[in-house]
Structure 1
């Protein structure tokens, strides 16, 4: 079973973030932020991060197709997700665009030790959690990087209904 990792850059220094990635052997960083920049933490901007990671042997790629901040559909079946942003992301997970991007992540994970990144440190407060559900039902093992020495194995969101690779967060 292929393993992928998730990580949130939070307000870490660039040095601490790189140490976090290297401590877990990450070779490929997939940026799943919708907007790959930060005023508060410019060290994680798309313009500078690839050059900072390259000397450490880490490849960077932005995946806007997997970014959060999606608007929920009025007829969304994901009523169990109280956050409109999460509900919108769950709706988006049903699209061909999402499926194509996830397939690319899976292919890359077969060649590299891959982590996908967003800004939020806590995975359960980020769309990475729902993306982790999607990868889990596709047969990948997902682990959330928390510290240089600690990871947490992903577990499907309680109450989610799994129908093949389709997830319904009905509540």
Structure 2
């Protein structure tokens, strides 16, 4: 079983962020931000971060062009908002997933984006969902307080967010997989980037 981690930096200093990477034995960071720069936390700009990680012996790779949530591809937008289902089937995205999968053979990888909570970020709602479908891949999310959440636990929170956690009437209701699909779809709609936004890293959350 291969493990891959995710982490958000918005609640961390560079020092505390790097300490968590060390704690979990991370040897490579895959940056899935569409824009690898931060006005609010410039220490996490691509150049600065790359140097800091290199000093720790941690590799850095930018995957925002393949696995970012704000693609420069008009066909991924419906009514001005990114459609995660369309994006997830794009060959560019699938190539990014392939690169991550191949990278696990050599590195202990952490996907990095800005959001503190994984269920509020495409690293969980989009990228981790696709990684979780690969046999023998276990996705784990490093939380803001340093604890680690299994991907199935994040999915359980996602179901609860939309009151879909309880099993429906046997034989009449939807299966667990169908309810989970709905939770993913609804959360993707809530956090999707809109073409008229220029917000830096964090997502705009619409009312459920």
TM-based fold match above 0.5:
yes
From the superposition, tell whether residues 48 and 117 of structure 1 become closer, same or farther in structure 2 (CA, over 3 Å): same
Please provide the CA RMSD for this pair. 2.1
TM-score calculated relative to the size of structure 2: 0.68
- The structure with the largest helix share of the pair is 2
From the superposition, tell whether residues 170 and 148 of structure 1 become closer, same or farther in structure 2 (CA, over 3 Å): closer
- The structure with the largest strand share of the pair is 1
Structure label with greater radius of gyration: 2
Q: CA deviation at 1:170?
A: 8.0
Which residue of the partner structure matches residue 143 of structure 2? Answer: 146
Matches within 5 A, 1:1-171: 1-64=1-64, 65-70=66-71, 71-73=76-78, 84-85=81-82, 88-129=83-124, 130-139=126-135, 140-147=137-144, 149-155=146-152, 156=155, 158=159, 159-161=179-181, 169=185
> What is the number of equivalent residue pairs in this alignment?
154
TM-score calculated relative to the size of structure 1: 0.82
8 Å contact from structure 2 (residues 30, 109) kept in 1: yes
Q: CA deviation at 1:11?
A: 3.8
Greater relative contact order structure (CA < 8 Å, 6+ sep): 1
Mark the runs of 5 or more structure 2 residues left unpaired by the alignment: 160-178, 188-208
Q: CA deviation at 1:138?
A: 1.4
8 Å contact from structure 2 (residues 9, 114) kept in 1: yes
8 Å contact from structure 1 (residues 24, 148) kept in 2: no
Task: Determine helix, strand or coil for the equivalent of 1:57.
Answer: coil
